[in-house]
Chains A and B, each alone.
Chain A
Amino acid sequence: MSESLRAPHPYVRSMRGWWRRDPFFVRYMLREATAVGVLVYAVILTTGVVRLAQGEDTWNGWRAALRTPWSVLLHLVLLVAMVFHALTWFEIMPKTLPAIFIGGRRVSAATITRGGWTAAVVACVALVALAWWWGS
């Protein structure tokens, strides 16, 4: 009996590039990739908290780092990731929520998604307005 029959190696299909074969899967992987953006932003903010706790000089160093072109470019990418996260988060929300009934009729998936998008726009505008008011 040959070695290969005694110790069989089951065929494992390669997963390389599987998601590039279908636009639906590409969108799915982009959606999951927004998590990297959220993580990078959380690390940037954590660094900010540490710099703030260390004192005024280190805090100003953190602020100076955020003014560099590379940082602004990175934050533009993070902004795109956050917006795509918000879009897709409310797109999948109808699937993660239990069925909602208003007046005996089930609230449609499109209504839930549009409601989420509206809430996000309102929350973002409110936060920018709050920052503007706080800073003036």
Chain B
Amino acid sequence: MKRSNAPVFWVLFGAGGMLAALLGPALVLITGIATPLGAGLPADLLSYARLAALARNGWGKACLFLIITLFAWHAMHRIYHSLHDLGLRTGALAKLACYGGALTITVVTAIGLLSLGF
């Protein structure tokens, strides 16, 4: 019997959903609102020196990679299963578009982080 690949996508969905539920609001607040406005957090929090140092640190690199890619796999899995609720046919093409999108984000993020070095 052919093994189902569904549990893999389900675990990625669950891990990303948990991470987004625990840290998502704080992350959006920090990177998108408080720091750009310089409200509550220093405006140079996301300076090049700081972020490059974070991305070159092994732990920092792992955190950035996991946050971005698990968010993407969570979102794409949920969107794929919502297509049905919108009355759209979900075939191999829809699956390829959704999970392919998550894979693209994963590969681009990995290349970007690795090219920054350690």
On A, residues with C-beta under 8 Å from B are 14-16, 19, 29, 32-33, 35-36, 38-39, 41-46, 48-50, 52-53, 56, 59-60, 63, 66-67, 71-72, 74-76, 78-79, 82-83, 85-86, 89-90, 96, 116, 119-120, 123-125, 127-128, 131-132, 134-136
Contact = CB atoms under 8 A, between A and B. Distances in A.
Interface in B81-98: 81-82, 85-87
B68 A46 contact: yes
A36 to B, nearest CB: 7
B31 interface: yes
A82 B37 contact: no
B33 interface: yes
Listed from nearest, the 4 A-B pairs whose CB atoms lie closest are: A75-B32, A15-B87, A39-B75, A35-B78
B74 A79 contact: no
A41 B29 CA distance: 12
Contacts of B74: 35, 38
Chain B: interface residue count, which band?
A: 35 or more
Interface of B: 14, 16-18, 20-37, 40-42, 44-46, 48, 50-52, 55, 64, 67-69, 71-72, 74-76, 78-79, 81-82, 85-87, 101, 105, 108-109, 111-113, 115-116
| Interface SS majority for chain B | helix
B45 A135 contact: yes
Nearest to B18: A89
B36 A124 contact: no
Nearest to B72: A42
A38 to B, nearest CB: 4
